[in-house]
Amino acid sequence: MTGLRVLLVDDEVEFLEPTAERLKRRQVECTAVTNGEAALAELARTPFDCAIIDVKMPGMDGLTLLRSVRHDHPRVAVILLTGHASVELGVQGMELGAFEYLMKPVDIDELLDTVRRAAAQKKRA
């Protein structure tokens, strides 16, 4: 285990499960949830190094969740994921304090690398 604890939030279960599995296989302690409310509940229960959030979700969307995380759990780094190749949303997310913005489909090594950098930066902070 790298000791990295990651919360993965995506409404698309078919994407969520394999991605979580792949991260776990790479020694990342990964908790997968399908909506913003569940994510906030998990964050309240367990300390995480990083949250990977899908921007487009029904109910509470990624940017709203991002705001809540930034507000309630400032030590948790946020990486935004989306199929929406909109630079604007990415820029908006970055302005709101996201660490990085990745587009789906995302390469697992790139994701892992981003998670590590995010966690490292948070530790330094």
Partner 1 sequence: MAELSPNPYLRLRRQMFFALLAFGLIPLFAMGLAGFVANRESVETRTRNVIEAMTKNRRATVELFLEETLRQLDLMVHALPIAELSKTSTLANLRDEARRERGAIVDLGLLDDHGKHVAYVGPHDLGNVDYSDQPWFLQVMLRGRYESDVFLGFRQFPHMVMAVKKRELDRDWILRATVDTDLLSALVREGGLESGADVFILNRDGEYQTRYSPEHRLMEKADLGPIPPHSGTRVVELARNGRREFVATTWLRNDEWVLVARQQVPGFPVLLFAHSAVLVVFLFGLFLVPALSYLIARHRLRQVRGLEDERAALYESVAQSQKMAAIGRMAASIAHEINNPLAVIHAQVGVLDDMLTDDASHPSTAAFKERIKKIEAQVDRGRKVTHRLLGFSRRVGPDLESVDVAAALDETIGFLEKETEAEQIQIVRDYDRAAPIIRCNLSQMQQVFLNLVNNAVDAVGQKGELRLAVACAESGVEVTIADNGPGIKPEDMKRVFEPFFSTKTNTPSHSGLGLSICQEIMRNLGGRIAVESAPGVGTTFRLWFPLAGDPGQENHGRSGHKEGEA
Q: Which residues form the interface with partner 1 (CB under 8 A)?
A: 12, 14-15, 18-19, 21-22, 25, 83-88, 103-106, 108
Hey, is 80 helix, strand or coil?
strand
Residue 64 CB, nearest approach to partner 1 (Å): 19
As a whole number of angstroms, the distance between CA 90 and CA 85 comes to 8
Residue closer to partner 1 (CB basis): 43 or 89: 89
Residue closer to partner 1 (CB basis): 21 or 72: 21
CB-CB contact of 70 with 79 (8 Å): no
Query: What tokens does 34 get?
Result: 């399908």
Residue 92 CB, nearest approach to partner 1 (Å): 13
Residue closer to partner 1 (CB basis): 41 or 94: 94
Q: What residue type is 17 in one-letter code? A: E
Residue closer to partner 1 (CB basis): 18 or 59: 18
Residue 124 CB, nearest approach to partner 1 (Å): 29
Helical segments of the chain, H only: 13-25, 36-45, 62-72, 87-95, 108-124
Kindly report the number of other CB atoms within 10 A of residue 19's CB atom.
22
Residue 17 CB, nearest approach to partner 1 (Å): 8
